Amino acid sequence: DESSGYESESAGAERGGARGRQRRARTAFTAEQVCRLEKTFQRHKYLGATERRKLAAALQLSEIQIKTWFQNRRMKLKRQI
């Protein structure tokens, strides 16, 4: 179901996913969202719950999407170093 952010079970099974598990669809961030996320990341490598909540509301994303983006961005920085 697209509205829930999850692919259908059959789509996950076709890709070798575990039976009965649903995989979250990949988020396509807009250029504006990425720009704001990158600017925030330059100031703060880690966000607390309050900052994450505010940023999620401002960008119309979920807190989990913000948390995951920051985790992935820190790993990207670590690989670059």
Check whether 8 has a pLDDT greater than 50: no
Of 35 and 4, the structure prediction assigns the larger pLDDT to 35
What digits encode the pLDDT tens for the residues 35-81? 999 999 999 999 999 999 999 999 999 999 999 999 999 999 999 99
Q: How confident is the model at residue 16 (pLDDT cuts 50, 70, 90)?
A: low
Report the C-alpha gap between 39 and 45 in whole angstroms: 10
Q: What is the pLDDT of residue 33?
A: 97
Compute CA distances 24 → 7, 17, 19, 73, 79, whole Å. Answer: 6, 12, 14, 19, 25
CA atoms within 13 A on the CB side of 50: 0
Just give the CATH number of 31-80.
1.10.10.60
Q: Where are the domains of the chain?
A: 31-80
